[in-house]
């Protein structure tokens, strides 16, 4: 077996899976013995004895993570349960432990590595929210250096991990707002754990540089045409997403929550459209419930009809659809982002001097600031109301008249 997999052993000739084995650090050997642990940390894995190198690497990685967690808890227990030193053989000092206190401390404590999973169990996040928090947690944990017990003594290493992570993110060119979002995601887990387990952490983060986010670049009619042509020439799930996102100012997360069956029916209409937030679907804000007419050229509509169902299913699986969309557009020289397509809709509507209430119903903007009541926006929103769909389709044609005139 490769040298880097030296901790994976076959426990005996009958074993069908490998066992991860690693000796305790010398300074913890006595504490491990007092806690009734074997001389070596031992953990069965799910990796078959004849498993591939990839399987063995995964087993080794899992074993090391569990070993580090056990070491962290043993160190915490060691501090809590040591009560004296006596001379051992050859006059070597030997530390004495209160065995019950040591075992109790180990079994009641948590390692920092466990906190994210405990938080998820309590909050049951799903989809993009879960994926983002797990990603931020994994990034931050890399800067922790080594696992540690979740106790008051860990505050210094927690702060140091935040400082190093923050510096690295800023050096990578991330906007302070993005850094703030990532930090807050991790800090939420730690604050919850501190309160839940009465640890007493007060987490203080370093200030971020002041920064004003640049406005999202919107596309002019020529660039809009370039995008629609790319949708046809590079047809696929992402292309379908991009076309729909520009049509109604959708965010990628909204596409992930669409109902495939409903979408297939509404797109088959002679005046194709998509309903955002139908029924009890979750939306970011109530104003985001809306109807989006699809008035693109026939070739673009064909791509949407064929590939949007696959895009919905893919986006709903928790991958990062926004990053996929942005990468797709960058690769085709389209100078904006998924969020920038929402600004493109707004700019096109302003240029066409379209009714604000029509724009609000298509793009999902709140009209409270314009003196238009929620009741007015709700009137006639029923999907069965063909008059509403006709009116919105007419407004959509007016919004996009400059790019449509190029076809």
Q: For 277-301, what is the mean pLDDT?
A: 72
Question: What's the rounded Cα separation, in Å, for the pair 37 and 24?
Answer: 10
Question: What's the rounded Cα separation, in Å, for the pair 107 and 402?
Answer: 68
Residue 37: its pLDDT value, please?
Answer: 81
Summarised one tens digit per residue, pLDDT across range 58-107 is 888 888 888 887 887 777 766 655 555 544 555 555 565 556 655 665 56
Task: Classify each residue of 360-371 as buried b or exposed e, where b means 16 or more C-beta atoms within 10 Å of its C-beta.
Answer: bbbbbbebeeee
Answer whether residue 377 shows pLDDT above 90: no
Answer whether residue 310 shows pLDDT above 80: yes
For residue 319, which of 126, 124, 125, 128 has the smallest C-alpha distance?
Answer: 128
The predicted model scores a pTM of 0.51
In order of 122, 195, 205, 276, 327, the CA distances from 158 in angstroms are: 22, 16, 10, 41, 33
Residue 74: its pLDDT value, please?
Answer: 77
Question: What's the rounded Cα separation, in Å, for the pair 274 and 102?
Answer: 61
Torsion angle defined by CA atoms of residues 109, 112, 117 and 118, in that order, rounded to the nearest 10 degrees: 40
Confidence of residue 293 (pLDDT cuts 50, 70, 90): very high
Residue 369: its pLDDT value, please?
Answer: 41
Answer whether residue 335 shows pLDDT above 70: yes
Answer whether residue 366 shows pLDDT above 80: no
Name the residue with higher pLDDT: 83 or 295: 295
Q: Which conformational region is residue 384 in: left (phi greater than 0), alpha (psi within -120 to 50 degrees), or beta?
A: alpha
Question: What's the rounded Cα separation, in Å, for the pair 404 and 398?
Answer: 9
For residue 311, which of 380, 239, 217, 383 has the smallest C-alpha distance?
Answer: 239
- Cβ–Cβ under 8 Å, residues 177 and 166: no
- Residues 84, 87, 93, 98: is their CA dihedral positive or negative? negative
Answer whether residue 280 shows pLDDT above 70: no
- Cβ–Cβ under 8 Å, residues 96 and 170: no
Give the DSSP per-residue string, 34-64: HTT--SEEEEEEEEETT--HHHHHHHHHHHH
For residue 62, which of 5, 115, 112 has the smallest C-alpha distance?
Answer: 5
Question: What's the rounded Cα separation, in Å, for the pair 250 and 321?
Answer: 12
**Percentage with pLDDT > 70 across the chain:** 81
Summarised one tens digit per residue, pLDDT across range 194-252 is 999 898 999 999 999 886 555 568 999 999 999 999 999 999 999 999 999 999 999 88
Which contacts (CB < 8 Å, 24+ apart) does range 125-130 have?
126/318, 127/253, 127/256, 127/316, 127/318, 128/253, 128/256, 128/318, 128/320, 128/321, 130/318
Question: What's the rounded Cα separation, in Å, for the pair 8 and 2?
Answer: 10
Q: For 29-34, what is the mean pLDDT?
A: 77
Among 240-244, 284-288, 313-317, 352-356, which range has the highest average pLDDT?
240-244
Answer whether residue 384 shows pLDDT above 50: no
Phi/psi at 378 (nearest 5 deg)? -75, -25
In order of 116, 144, 332, 340, the CA distances from 136 in angstroms are: 10, 13, 29, 24
Tokens of 227: 């995008």
Q: What is the mean pLDDT of the chain?
A: 82
Name the residue with higher pLDDT: 254 or 221: 221
Summarised one tens digit per residue, pLDDT across range 145-193 is 778 888 888 899 899 999 999 988 887 778 898 899 999 999 999 999 9
Q: For 306-331, what is the mean pLDDT?
A: 87
- Cβ–Cβ under 8 Å, residues 288 and 208: no
Helices vs. strands in the chain: H and E counts, helices first:
18, 7
Torsion angle defined by CA atoms of residues 167, 173, 174 and 177, in that order, rounded to the nearest 10 degrees: 90
Answer whether residue 300 shows pLDDT above 70: yes
H runs (alpha helix) in 172-297: 176-196, 221-233, 237-248, 252-256, 260-267
Residue 372: its pLDDT value, please?
Answer: 38
According to DSSP, residue 95 is labeled: E
Q: For 110-122, what is the mean pLDDT?
A: 90
Residue 283: its pLDDT value, please?
Answer: 42
Name the residue with higher pLDDT: 104 or 25: 25
- Cβ–Cβ under 8 Å, residues 271 and 389: yes
């Amino acid at each position: 077996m490769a040298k880097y997999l030296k901790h994976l052993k076959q426990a005996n000739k009958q074993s069908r899976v490998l066992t991860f084995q690693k000796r305790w650090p010398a300074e913890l050997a006595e504490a491990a013995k007092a806690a009734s642990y074997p001389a070596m940390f031992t953990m069965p894995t799910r990796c078959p004895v004849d498993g591939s190198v990839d399987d063995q690497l995964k087993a080794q990685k899992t074993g090391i993570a569990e070993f580090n967690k056990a070491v962290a808890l043993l160190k915490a227990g060691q501090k809590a349960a040591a009560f004296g030193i006596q001379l051992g053989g050859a006059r070597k000092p030997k530390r004495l432990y209160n065995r019950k206190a040591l075992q109790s401390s180990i079994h009641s404590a948590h390692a920092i590595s466990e906190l994210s999973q405990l938080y998820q169990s309590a909050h049951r996040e799903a989809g993009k929210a879960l994926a983002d928090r797990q990603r931020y947690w994994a990034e931050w944990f890399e800067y922790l250096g080594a696992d540690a017990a979740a106790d008051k003594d860990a505050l210094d290493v927690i702060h140091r991990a935040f400082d190093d992570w923050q510096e690295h993110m800023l050096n990578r060119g991330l906007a302070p707002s993005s850094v703030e979002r990532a930090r807050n995601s991790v800090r939420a887990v730690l604050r919850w754990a501190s309160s839940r387990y009465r640890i007493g952490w007060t987490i203080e983060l370093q200030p971020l540089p002041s920064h004003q986010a640049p406005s999202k670049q919107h596309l002019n009619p020529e660039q809009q045409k370039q995008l629609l042509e790319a949708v046809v020439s590079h047809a696929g799930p992402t292309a379908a997403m991009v076309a729909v996102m520009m049509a109604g100012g959708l965010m990628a997360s909204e596409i992930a929550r669409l109902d495939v069956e409903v979408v297939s029916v509404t797109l088959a209409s002679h005046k194709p459209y998509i309903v955002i937030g139908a029924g009890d679907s979750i939306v970011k804000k109530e104003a985001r419930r809306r109807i989006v007419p699809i008035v693109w050229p026939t070739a673009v509509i064909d791509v949407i009809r064929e590939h949007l169902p696959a895009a919905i299913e893919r986006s709903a699986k928790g991958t990062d659809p926004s990053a996929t969309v942005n990468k797709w557009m960058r690769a085709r020289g389209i100078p904006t982002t998924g969020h920038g397509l929402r600004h493109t809709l707004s700019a096109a509507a302003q240029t066409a001097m379209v009714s604000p209430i029509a724009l609000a119903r298509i793009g999902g903007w709140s009209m409270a600031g314009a003196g238009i009541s929620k009741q007015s926006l709700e009137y006639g929103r029923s999907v069965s109301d063909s008059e509403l769909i006709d009116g919105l389709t007419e407004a959509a044609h007016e919004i996009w008249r400059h790019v449509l005139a190029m076809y």
